[in-house]
Chain A
Amino acid sequence: MGGETNMARKLVGLCACTMGLAHTFMAAEALEKAAKEKGYDVKVETQGSDGIKNKLTSDDIAQADIIIHSVAITPEGMDRFEGYEIYEVELRELIKNPKGVLEEIEEDLGFK
């Protein structure tokens, strides 16, 4: 179906760094911004020192076309992701070059 756009596509992410003060949120913001620009319906959970925010439900995960983990710790609730294909991206990479990261994943999935 050549006419398909990213409009209908869903992207979910999970970000967590060791201290949960800065990188978690920078990465989440970078991902949200880049994904929105590309037309995705995006939701990013953060597990930071202020707790779990924007928690992904099993429906969110099941409906996602792309699942990204950008974590430096073992986050809580990993069982939710069992059986799904996960793209693991380094926090710093995601902060620095979110668009490039997404493009690489899209290419890998044959979106384009």
Chain B
Amino acid sequence: MMIKGELKLDIFNKNYIFLNANLKNKEDAMDFIAGKASELGISKDKKQTLEDLWGREKEFNTAIDDTLAIPHAKSLSINFPVVLVVKSKNSIDWGGENIKLIISFLTPKYNKENIHLTMLSKISRKLIDDNFKAILNESNDIDVIYELINDALNS
């Protein structure tokens, strides 16, 4: 009876959390995100995803503070909406801020399911919570991070 979400397209799961990523700079990070999206079947076109992520970034640097960046894209290349969490082993420069924590939203250009967008709005709201961010920044426990994000998405 426990159908947990393997059958539907997950907006978030433990495979979307990447700890200790070996990133040197923002370019690396963007490439990493687009690459993982492609490997996981989230993106059908890595190049396009990367281009759309950069498109957003050039319009508006997505570093929120000195800990967190939120690169995101609405792209024709994206099959279904997801949240990816990437923690960099080293601090990387993100338009002047040194960050280690990256939370990336990827969504299809045209979304049919409003519910997913509402879930993303909930997690966005959580991202201004210092406590929430502190745990994300400090923890390297995949279960802790999963629970935290998943609870926020479903709050």
Choose one: A21, A29, A33; the contact of B105 (CB below 8 Å): A21
Binary contact track A19-41/B, C-beta < 8 Å → 1, others 0:
11111111011100100000000
Does B128 lie within 8 Å of A95, measured CB to CB?
yes
State the CA gap A25–B70 with chains docked (Å).
Answer: 13
State the CA gap A33–B125 with chains docked (Å).
Answer: 10
Could you say which of B9-17, B24-32, B41-49, B111-119 contacts chain A? B111-119
Nearest CB to that of B116 among chain A residues?
A50
With an 8 A cutoff between CB atoms, is B74 at the interface? yes
Binary contact track A26-66/B, C-beta < 8 Å → 1, others 0:
10111001000000000000101111010000000000000
Chain A contributes a number of interface residues (CB within 8 A of B) equal to 24
Interface of A is mostly: mixed
Interfacial chain A residues near B59, Cβ < 8 Å: 18
Does B125 lie within 8 Å of A28, measured CB to CB?
yes
Does A21 lie within 8 Å of B125, measured CB to CB?
no
Interfacial chain B residues near A25, Cβ < 8 Å: 120-122, 124-125
CB distance from A33 to the nearest CB of B (A): 7
Nearest CB to that of B72 among chain A residues?
A21
State the CA gap A23–B124 with chains docked (Å).
Answer: 7
State the CA gap A24–B125 with chains docked (Å).
Answer: 9
Does A72 lie within 8 Å of B114, measured CB to CB?
no
With an 8 A cutoff between CB atoms, is A96 at the interface? yes
Nearest CB to that of A53 among chain B residues?
B121
With an 8 A cutoff between CB atoms, is B19 at the interface? no
CB distance from A68 to the nearest CB of B (A): 16
With an 8 A cutoff between CB atoms, is B79 at the interface? no
With an 8 A cutoff between CB atoms, is B77 at the interface? no
Q: A19-B72, A95-B64 are in contact. Are A51 and B125 (CB under 8 A)?
A: no
Does B114 lie within 8 Å of A50, measured CB to CB?
yes
Q: Across chains A and B, which 3 residue pairs bring their CB atoms closest together, nearest first? A: A25-B124, A50-B117, A29-B125
Give me 17 other A-B pairs in contact (C-beta within 8 A), A29-B125, A49-B111 excluded: A18-B56, A18-B60, A19-B72, A20-B117, A21-B105, A21-B120, A22-B72, A23-B60, A24-B124, A25-B121, A26-B125, A26-B127, A29-B124, A48-B117, A50-B117, A50-B118, A96-B65
Residues of A within 8 A of B (CB): 17-26, 28-30, 33, 46, 48-51, 53, 72, 92, 95-96
